[in-house]
Amino acid sequence: MIKVLVTGANGQLGLELAVLEHKFPNLNLFFTDKNILNIVDFEAMESYISTNKIDVIVNCAAYTQVDKAEDVPKIADEVNHLAVKNLGLIAKKHHIKLIHISTDYVFDGNSGIPYAETDATIPQNAYGISKLNGEKELLKIDPKNSIIIRTSWLYSEFGSNFVKTMLRLSAEKEQIKVVSDQIGSPTYARDLAAVILKIIPAINNEGLQIYHYANKGQCSWFQFAEAIMKIAQRNCLILPITSAEFKTKAKRPKYSLLNTDKIQNTFNLEIPNWEDALRECILKV
Phi, psi for residue 85 in degrees, rounded to 5? -60, -45
Q: Report domain extents, the chain.
A: 2-160+186-216+257-272
- Strand boundaries in the chain, DSSP class E: 2-7, 27-31, 56-59, 97-103, 146-151, 154-155, 175-179, 183-184, 187-188, 209-212, 219-220, 237-241
Neighbours of 168 (CB within 10 A): 11
Structurally, what CATH architecture does the domain formed by 2-160+186-216+257-272 represent?
Answer: 3-Layer(aba) Sandwich (3.40)
Q: What is the pLDDT along the chain (285 residues), one digit of tens a residue?
A: 999 999 999 999 999 999 999 999 999 999 999 899 999 999 999 999 999 999 999 999 999 999 999 999 999 999 999 999 999 999 999 999 999 999 999 999 999 999 999 999 999 999 999 999 999 999 999 999 999 999 999 999 999 999 999 999 999 999 999 999 999 999 999 999 999 999 999 999 999 999 999 999 999 999 999 999 999 999 999 999 999 998 899 999 999 999 999 999 999 999 999 999 999 999 887
pTM over 0.95: yes
Taking a C-beta distance cutoff of 8 angstroms, is the pair 66, 127 a contact? Answer: yes
CA–CA separation, 31 and 15 (whole Å): 9
**Residues carrying an active site annotation:** 127
